Structure 1
Amino acid sequence: MSGYEHLARALAVCARDGFTGELRVSGTPGGTFHLGDGRVVAAESPGAPGPEALLLRSGRVSGEQWAELMRESGGSRWPATALIARGYAGAAQLRVVCAMALHDAVFAIAAGRVDDCERVPTFEPFAQVPVGEPPLGLLQGAARRLTALTELPHPVHPDRERPVPAPAPADTDTPLTVLRRELLAHADGRRTARDLAFRIGRGVYAVTVEVARMLGDGLLVCAEAPAPIPVRPFPEGHALRPREPAPVEPPPHPPSTPTALPRRKPGSFFRLRNGITR
């Protein structure tokens, strides 16, 4: 939560001013708050799947159908009208999906590092939640989620631990949920909770919490850190010494200067031809 206070102040100013536009948050993972009249109507972050990923995961629309909708809508970022007209989703379902993605993006931004915030006014905001939500209320909700994560027996950060299935899972009579089966199938020691969320098309907060619980239940373990490369000391009397510079060779001798030619006196050829000695 590095930079949380800076982000909170920037959002408070946007709410006070009734700002309409984008609040661009630089950092890791960073993201963008879209505001209309001081209320957050959408949020995006590379640290959390967007509503399109959640909708595709639901199975109501396929990847090919989504691509066709995007072409028909002229590149619209969120073709809600076309989704409803085609019967792929209802208006209520789209509101729920967009609200989930909004809260998840705010959580991802707050859980990371915030370096700076920049306001970019726009005439009409990119709105996925038309009514919008109070900025500070969203941020406080993300803070409560982060606090709940830290209080778990095995707290997990969305972009830190890289779990793998336990070699000998703990015996349990409780059947595995669909989410747990998906996480066991895709946890390979290279993916963080955020990576797993994108992989299976679920919210990053829900995946992070479930990874923490599965660590506590003995279903997952964190991959071991790579073993350090052994460094053998030099034998006694053979310590590392600086390389001695090569001897400097003397510069080559400059070439000898040629002697000057004798100067010819004017009229010498005329005197020789006429037998004149002087």
Structure 2
Amino acid sequence: MRITASTTSPMLMRLAGERATGALLRDQGTLYLVDGHVVHAESPAAPGIDVLLTAGGALPPQGWQEALSLAGTRHEVGRHLIDSGRITAGELEMCHIGALFDAAFFVLGPASGPTRFRYGVAHWLGRVRPVSAETLERETRRRRALLASVWPCPELDTSPVVPRPPAPGHKLTGRQISLLRLADGVRTPTAIAWALGRPSFHTLIEVRRLAAAGLVEPPRTAEPGLPMLPAPVSDDHPEPDVALLRRVRDALEASL
């Protein structure tokens, strides 16, 4: 197992090489491993698989609670949902992998506290579709790069979402409309994701796209010495100026 300078979590890679089983705990959540593969992830910044399943209508809330009560202590909630006919194996797998990558993005983010590993700890969901540590690392880096390419303002991810009225004739997508309805100047992107029952990362992307199109206020507070963000894109040109965004990103990185 090769660990490089760009590795998001050297400890995760070492545990994968050891084929360890247990729970990796960080500031923003937990990764669960079985034989060195990640089988589940949880983060307070990302709606869990229970929220994604029930909010999306794939599973009624009482069906989830029943599975948790009957199979949680055996670590077989996923298997119970399939065997009871509540959902299909394909539905569970798709929702599980989405929840895993979503939570892992935050778990593997910059951490200020200690990273710990508890050997032997198992998750109540059970194994659904294990993911290799290399795959998780690669996807996390890809998502970070994607966020930066859309709009280089990390403060948007944790700031209350303050909407701006769209320009006359500007058509919003259904996803944008449902997001902006909850943008009350108090909810952050992750709070909106929880309310909508959608993955948090997808919501972060949408908020940055809205900011690039001038439909969301950029955060007003900035660190001393950092350059000001550019003005929103004009109403006549809703597409962001990619060259300008790259220059702002480079300036921000140079100031850190």
Answer whether TM exceeds 0.5 for this pair. yes
TM-score using structure 2 length: 0.74
Alignment partners' CA distance in 2, 1:212 and 1:195: 15
Summarize the Cα distance change of 1:192–1:139 in structure 2 as closer, same or farther, 3 Å threshold.
Answer: same
Paired-residue identity, %: 27
TM-score using structure 1 length: 0.69
Instruction: Structure 2: give runs of 5+ residues left out of the alignment.
Output: 222-256
Secondary structure of 1:163's aligned partner: coil
Write the letter of the residue equivalent to 2:134. L
Q: More deviation in 127-136 or 142-151?
A: 127-136
Secondary structure of 2:167's aligned partner: coil
Secondary structure of 2:131's aligned partner: coil
Secondary structure of 1:211's aligned partner: helix
- How big is the shift at 1:217? 2.0
Return the match for 2:182 from 179, 186, 199: 186
Summarize the Cα distance change of 1:157–1:139 in structure 2 as closer, same or farther, 3 Å threshold.
Answer: farther
Instruction: Structure 1: give runs of 5+ residues left out of the alignment.
Output: 226-278
Number of aligned residue pairs: 217
Write the letter of the residue equivalent to 2:24. L
Partner of 1:210: 206
Pairing 1:171–2:168 present: yes
Alignment partners' CA distance in 2, 1:218 and 1:112: 28
- How big is the shift at 1:45? 1.1
CA contact (8 A) 1:157 1:208 kept: no
Alignment partners' CA distance in 1, 2:75 and 2:183: 31
Alignment RMSD: 2.6
Q: More deviation in 68-77 or 134-143?
A: 68-77
| CA deviations over 1:233-256 (Å, ceiling 9, x no partner) | xxxxxxxxxxxxxxxxxxxxxxxx
- How big is the shift at 1:184? 1.1
Pairing 1:39–2:37 present: yes
Which has a greater percent of helix?
2
Alignment partners' CA distance in 2, 1:205 and 1:172: 28
Write the letter of the residue equivalent to 2:44. P
| CA deviations over 1:69-121 (Å, ceiling 9, x no partner) | 33343666662233224433111110010000110011112334242211111
CA contact (8 A) 2:77 2:126 kept: no
Alignment partners' CA distance in 2, 1:78 and 1:198: 25
Which has a greater percent of strand?
1
Partner of 1:93: 91
Summarize the Cα distance change of 1:75–1:165 in structure 2 as closer, same or farther, 3 Å threshold.
Answer: farther
Larger radius of gyration: 1
Alignment partners' CA distance in 2, 1:133 and 1:123: 17
Summarize the Cα distance change of 1:205–1:21 in structure 2 as closer, same or farther, 3 Å threshold.
Answer: same
Write the letter of the residue equivalent to 1:67. Q
Alignment partners' CA distance in 2, 1:125 and 1:71: 14
